[in-house]
Chains A and B, each alone.
Chain A
Amino acid sequence: MSGSYVIAPGSPPARTPLRHVAAAAAIGLLLLLAVPLALGRAPYWLDVLTNACILSFASLGVWVTFAIGRINIAQGAFAMIGGYTTAILATRFGIGFWFGLPVSAAVAAVAGILLGLPILRLRGVYFAMITLSLTEAVRLAFLSLGAATGGGTDIVNIPTPAGIGSPLAFYLLAAVLLLLGLLAVWRLDASRLGAVFRAMRQNEDLAASIGIDVARYRVIAFAVASAMGGAAGSFFAVFHQNIFPASYTIQDSVNVMLYCFLGGLDFVLGPIVGAFLLVIALELLTALQQYQALLYGVLMIAAMLFLPNGLLRLRLARLRRGGETP
């Protein structure tokens, strides 16, 4: 029926963690060895890949909320919260990034729990729309807060993390963060928690009826997502050395969600594949100047038209057999 979740025929069975470790090692080699060797002297591409790594990291969080069947368009809000936490810690209290990062993730997680408790009762597009509104609401809140406290809302001259200065160092930090995030989400997906999430995605009421504390688990998922968003915001705050209420907009939240769709929602690697492809594609299209944004849109349309279930679905080659029922 309209709106019900069609259970993906290829929903991932919990794969052996060993395979994950092998895959993570391969990705780690690629990110931490091959890329620095190939692009270590190209700060521009390092910067692009740094963006891709951290945006992937934020998308992984959104993927966790997709795992419980929620379309989360609020990641920009949590990146903003994390970014401001890091910025305030660094500029007002002299607390550096290495301590600021976990604190920012924790603050974002707490915000995620507080906001998630009420809004996670919503489902489907209602949840999508309320999270989209949340991005805008958080931006407005920071703007008003700045006006209310008399101080400005802009924080500039945020110090870089101790020991991190060059583009390569920032890239390596981003890549390590991404790898840790990937391993954590893989671990989560393969654990009992992952199974609970899948059950909730397929049918929340059914999951509740077999004794799963649905309300608790969906808040856990949202808190994980928010923490990852907060960590991403924390990174960008020290990377750009500033934060403004305009640093994250609805566009950021939407983009992060799109990366998940493009890569494929059934795979932990989906958001990473999606983020890297779209971030790199946008940069490659820069040469086309005014046609860049136009072709970026066309690319998205084409991707969905020919790979409606994400790029990683390609290898399953079940496109043609897709459900014929309307």
Chain B
Amino acid sequence: MANGLHATRRGVLAGAGAAALLAASRPARAESVLKIGVLGVMSGPAASWGLVNKYCAQATAAMWNEKGGVTIDGTAYRIEIVPIDDKNDPKLAVSGAERLTEQDGIRYIIGPNVDTTAASVRPVAEKNGAIYFPYAFSKALYTPPAGNAVLGMIASYQAGPIIYRFLRDSRGVKSVAFVARNESDPLNQRKEGVEAAKKLGLNVVSSDDTYEGGTTDFFPVMSKVVSGKPDLIVLSGVAPADAPLLVKSARELGFKGQLSTETAQDAKVLREGAGNAADGFISVGGASTPEIASDYMNRFRDRYARVAGEWNDEAGTKVYALEIILATLQKAGRGAIGDVAAFKRTIDTFSMRNPFLREDKPLAYVGTAYFGQKRQIGVPMVVNEFHDGAFRTLFIGSVE
């Protein structure tokens, strides 16, 4: 059976990756082990979100381990990634977090991916003294009294206003329409987006069109959105799987204006799913476009492809978590490995050179303006435009 064949082919790849990981870690084997958890959705319709987190962490860990691991207070630690699939189910996220923190003694967890699971993990993380890095935008997670969550990426309500302002000022956008998947997270993101657009003086043509998960044909919903003749259509919190289809439908329905989203997309997915129809589509990206990527980023890209089977541009925004965890631990000292209080103290003053950008830019914790405390990784806000099958970086913004 054909799929069986592919399964083995990929299995061999995965196996080879694992073998490489093992081999790479051997020199540092005598040293101690630093375990990092990855908790997220790794199967079902949203599998790519958690899997990209997992592959990023595994690729980063492999690169560090090849160099002999991470040295904290003179001791070299081999990094071990412990991934758990929560299936986007809060019940499994909670038991997964208990397993990571209690069973494996892990204090630093990357994930989960959505508001539901991230909110459910919170009591466990606070009780067991663990820090987690969700990719969910709910402000309650990061605002006091909550203190153990660090937002792993740029939130939509941070990227949205900046993108809209750019489009208003340099592309003459005056009116905007929003479309979102009918689920809590994207709907919340749309709400924030609509407010931001209004604040910028944009005319919001429509803000209540949604589509259901599992939609096979985006013509009906896009017909409505396009009929309002907006200058800009914003795809709120759009999953990489849906983006090319929405974009292509809009273009096939004769839409000539701008299209944008605040989430990270993958160039190959856009290329395959929309082709040239995606030209001019604006999204948020990582540091993976050739004009801004450092050598380290390019090496990470290769390593990621070996771990995952192929590169995914979504990984550009998710590459930061493990890197900054390790650097912060190095600065906070050995005590922080088992006790997050030291880590939290270090957060406020921590800063390093962003290793993924060619340009010399700092990487620190941010978020005071939004959460009243530094509970966000200061990932640079790379705004990309899709052109001829690849991303081109328009500009790089930042979050305070």
For the complex, give the distance between the alpha carbons of A293 and B183 in Å. 24
For the complex, give the distance between the alpha carbons of A316 and B43 in Å. 37
B295 at the interface (CB under 8 A from A): no
Interchain CB contact (< 8 A) of B95 among A47, A147, A160: A47
A230 to chain B, nearest CB (A): 17
| Cβ contact within 8 Å between A47 and B94 | yes
A sample of 14 inter-chain contacts (CB < 8 A) reads A42-B103, A43-B102, A51-B91, A143-B182, A157-B140, A167-B98, A241-B120, A244-B119, A246-B88, A246-B115, A286-B96, A290-B85, A292-B43, A293-B43
For the complex, give the distance between the alpha carbons of A249 and B183 in Å. 12
Kindly supply a per-residue 1/0 record for chain A positions 24-52, scoring 1 wherever the CB is within 8 Å of any chain B CB and 0 otherwise. 00000000000000000011100110010
Among B44, B94, B103: residue with most chain A CB under 10 A: B94
Interchain CB contact (< 8 A) of B84 among A246, A286, A293: A286
| Cβ contact within 8 Å between A147 and B187 | yes
For the complex, give the distance between the alpha carbons of A147 and B184 in Å. 10
**Number of A residues contacting the other chain (C-beta, 8 Å)?**
37
| Cβ contact within 8 Å between B85 and A292 | yes
Interchain CB contact (< 8 A) of B119 among A147, A154, A282: A154
A140 at the interface (CB under 8 A from B): yes
Nearest neighbor of B183 in chain A, beta-carbon distance? A246
**Which residues on A sit within 8 Å (CB–CB) of B258?**
none
| Cβ contact within 8 Å between A154 and B103 | no
A103 to chain B, nearest CB (A): 22
For the complex, give the distance between the alpha carbons of A239 and B122 in Å. 11
Kindly supply a per-residue 1/0 record for chain A positions 203-226, scoring 1 wherever the CB is within 8 Å of any chain B CB and 0 otherwise. 000000000000000000000000
**Which residues on A sit within 8 Å (CB–CB) of B95?**
44, 47-48, 51, 283
**Which residues on B sit within 8 Å (CB–CB) of A11?**
none
**Which residues on A sit within 8 Å (CB–CB) of B122?**
241
A133 at the interface (CB under 8 A from B): no
**Which residues on B sit within 8 Å (CB–CB) of A48?**
95, 98
A77 to chain B, nearest CB (A): 16
| Cβ contact within 8 Å between A154 and B115 | yes
Kindly supply a per-residue 1/0 record for chain A positions 286-303, scoring 1 wherever the CB is within 8 Å of any chain B CB and 0 otherwise. 100110110000000000
**Which residues on A sit within 8 Å (CB–CB) of B88?**
246
Nearest neighbor of B212 in chain A, beta-carbon distance? A140
| Cβ contact within 8 Å between B103 and A244 | no
**Which residues on B sit within 8 Å (CB–CB) of A286?**
84-85, 96, 99
A158 to chain B, nearest CB (A): 10
Within 8 A of A (CB), among B62-121: 83-85, 87-92, 94-96, 98-99, 102-103, 114-116, 119-120
For the complex, give the distance between the alpha carbons of A293 and B41 in Å. 12
Q: Given A43-B98, A157-B140, A289-B83, are A244 and B187 also a contact pair (CB < 8 Å)?
A: no
A242 at the interface (CB under 8 A from B): yes
**Which residues on A sit within 8 Å (CB–CB) of B184?**
143, 152-154, 244-246
Within 8 A of A (CB), among B177-198: 182-185, 187-188, 191
A294 to chain B, nearest CB (A): 9
A321 to chain B, nearest CB (A): 35
**Which residues on A sit within 8 Å (CB–CB) of B102?**
42-44
**Which residues on B sit within 8 Å (CB–CB) of A293?**
43, 85, 87
**Which residues on B sit within 8 Å (CB–CB) of A156?**
119, 138, 140
B24 to chain A, nearest CB (A): 19
B333 to chain A, nearest CB (A): 28
B329 to chain A, nearest CB (A): 24
Nearest neighbor of B118 in chain A, beta-carbon distance? A242
| Cβ contact within 8 Å between B116 and A246 | yes
| Cβ contact within 8 Å between B85 and A244 | no
**Which residues on A sit within 8 Å (CB–CB) of B183?**
143, 245-246
| Cβ contact within 8 Å between A47 and B98 | yes
